Amino acid sequence: MIPFNIPPVTGNEITYLKEAIENKKICGDGPFTKKCHAWLENKLGGSSKVLLTTSGTTALEMAALLCNIQAGDEVIMPSFTFCSTADAFVQRGAKIVFVDIRPDTMNIDENKIERAITPKTKAICAVHYAGVACEMDTIMTIARKHNLKVVEDAAQAICSEYKGRALGTIGDYGCLSFHETKNFSMGEGGAVIINTGNEDYERAEVIREKGTDRSKFLRGQIDKYTWRDYGSSYLPSDLNAAYLFAQLEQAEKIQMHRMNCWNTYYNSLKELEVSKKIVLPTVPAGCLHNAHMFYILTKNIEERTELISFLKENGVGSAFHYIPLHSAPAGIKFGRFDGKDEITTAYSERLVRLPMYYGLSDVDIQKVIKNVKDFYLK
Ligand SMILES: *Cc1c(COP(=O)(O)O)cnc(C)c1O
């Protein structure tokens, strides 16, 4: 069986974990966390600050706190996303206003955002699906015009760019995930990116350290630390950071491999798109994607179900997502869909993700491709 995903391992993870254990530095903000921060800040272009978190979910929770979301505020986002995107804001008492997506990228339709804005709207959360950028120029223009915060859910988008700028660095805050299904992993983990200057960064440090100024204390800037504001424990163990750092050091190798897989899928399945059997992903001009996933769109949900079971019978794992949030029980309770759901439900029912992971062999990719072709051509 070719699995749908295998968590990445590049070789040095054990060495770095051993080092952390032997040096007795396993709590948060240790040497490996610092190395990851430096690597990420450099990768993101040098003008953003980064803090590792325990997950992409808690990075979003920190962003919601940093946006000062209050009960009754509204936050605009797509319904086609992971539940954490919405839940982080719901926890603060926000109402979620879902907006339809674009059929080409499955990202929020930037032309449908403005009509969803009300006097209660506080923020827009842009999800860069499959590591392909949302139309950020339009989104930022709308946000500035209406004085809204912008959070980029860049959980899938490390190493992706929009017009030369790293995703996660364009809005006020960006959120990364290092879950085992993402390009680089630490088991469970993530990072919040702060693009709003040093004062806000210090606030983020307090929120992440149980509402204390412990970060300043550890830097020797103050001689004791105290409880200053609300917060929680959002910092991961340095053991997880050690695992992540091994991955970041091999980022280029991981990315090159994933990009090869993506291009092989794309080029080999193109003929099925030309003959109108399936639809392949679109990467708009100006967007540099990161080969986070490879998906295809089938004709309808029945065909998708048949394809998934055909692949399974032939030893190929595949997956679909998301059940649109506005139709989930919590989405009904905490949100509303603005306008008409023309694309979200119809397209989400057609989407299938093919195996994509670091180490996926060429033989296995060819087997996946052969099976997809067999399904459509026999
Ligand atoms: C993975 C993911 C998350 C959540 O990240 P975790 O690290 O699993 O908490 C949030 N949003 C999107 C779009 C994701 O893909």
Supply 193's token pair: 């990116």
Largest CA distance in the chain: 73
| Burial class for 188, CB neighbours closer than 10 Å (0-12, 13-18, 19+) | middle
pLDDT confidence of residue 168: 98
Closest-CA residue, ligand 1 atom 5, reads 56
C-beta 61 within 6 A of ligand 1: no
Please name the residues in contact with 56: beta carbons below 8 A apart, sequence gap of 6 or more: 84, 153, 155, 175, 176, 177, 178, 179, 182, 190
pTM of structure: 0.98
CA distance 334 to 278: 35
Mutate which of 179, 186, 321, 353 for ligand 1? The one with the most ligand atoms within 8 Å of its CB, which is 179
Burial 1-20 (b: 16+ CB within 10 A, else e): ebebbebbebebbeebbeeb
Q: Per-residue pLDDT for the chain (378 aa), expressed as one digit of tens each?
A: 999 999 999 999 999 999 999 999 999 999 999 999 999 999 999 999 999 999 999 999 999 999 999 999 999 999 999 999 999 999 999 999 999 999 999 999 999 999 999 999 999 999 999 999 999 999 999 999 999 999 999 999 999 999 999 999 999 999 999 999 999 999 999 999 999 999 999 999 999 999 999 999 999 999 999 999 999 999 999 999 999 999 999 999 999 999 999 999 999 999 999 999 999 999 999 999 999 999 999 999 999 999 999 999 999 999 999 999 999 999 999 999 999 999 999 999 999 999 999 999 999 999 999 999 999 998
Alpha carbon 4 to chain centroid, angstroms: 18
Residue 146: half-sphere exposure toward Cβ, Cα within 13 Å: 22
Kindly give the distance from the C-alpha atom of residue 375 to the centroid of ligand 1, in angstroms, as a whole number: 31
Kindly give the distance from the C-alpha atom of residue 156 to the centroid of ligand 1, in angstroms, as a whole number: 7
3-state secondary structure the chain: CECCCCCCCCCCHHHHHHHHHHCCCCCECCHHHHHHHHHHHHHCCCCCEEEEECCHHHHHHHHHHHCCCCCCCEEEEECCCCHHHHHHHHCCCCEEEEECECCCCCCECHHHCHHHCCCCEEEEEEECHHHCCCCHHHHHHHHHHCCCEEEEECCCCCCCEECCEECCCCCCEEEEECCCCCCCCCCCCEEEEECCCHHHHHHHHHHHECCECHHHHHCCCCCCCCECCCCCECCCEHHHHHHHHHHHHCHHHHHHHHHHHHHHHHHHHHHHHHCCCCECCCCCCCEECCCCCEEEECCCHHHHHHHHHHHHHCCECCECCCCCHHHCHHHHHHEEECCCCCCHHHHHCCEEEECCCCCCCHHHHHHHHHHHHHHHHC
C-beta 131 within 6 A of ligand 1: no
Burial 95-105 (b: 16+ CB within 10 A, else e): bbbbbbbbeeb
Kindly give the distance from the C-alpha atom of residue 57 to the centroid of ligand 1, in angstroms, as a whole number: 6
Cis-peptide into 201, omega within 30 deg: no
Kindly give the distance from the C-alpha atom of residue 63 to the centroid of ligand 1, in angstroms, as a whole number: 14
CA distance 234 to 195: 19
C-beta 153 within 6 A of ligand 1: yes
Residue 129 CA, closest ligand 1 atom number: 13
pLDDT confidence of residue 378: 80
**CATH numbers and ranges of domains, the chain:** 13-248 (3.40.640.10), 251-377 (3.90.1150.10)
Bridge partner residues of 121 (DSSP): 74
C-beta 177 within 6 A of ligand 1: yes
C-beta 292 within 6 A of ligand 1: no
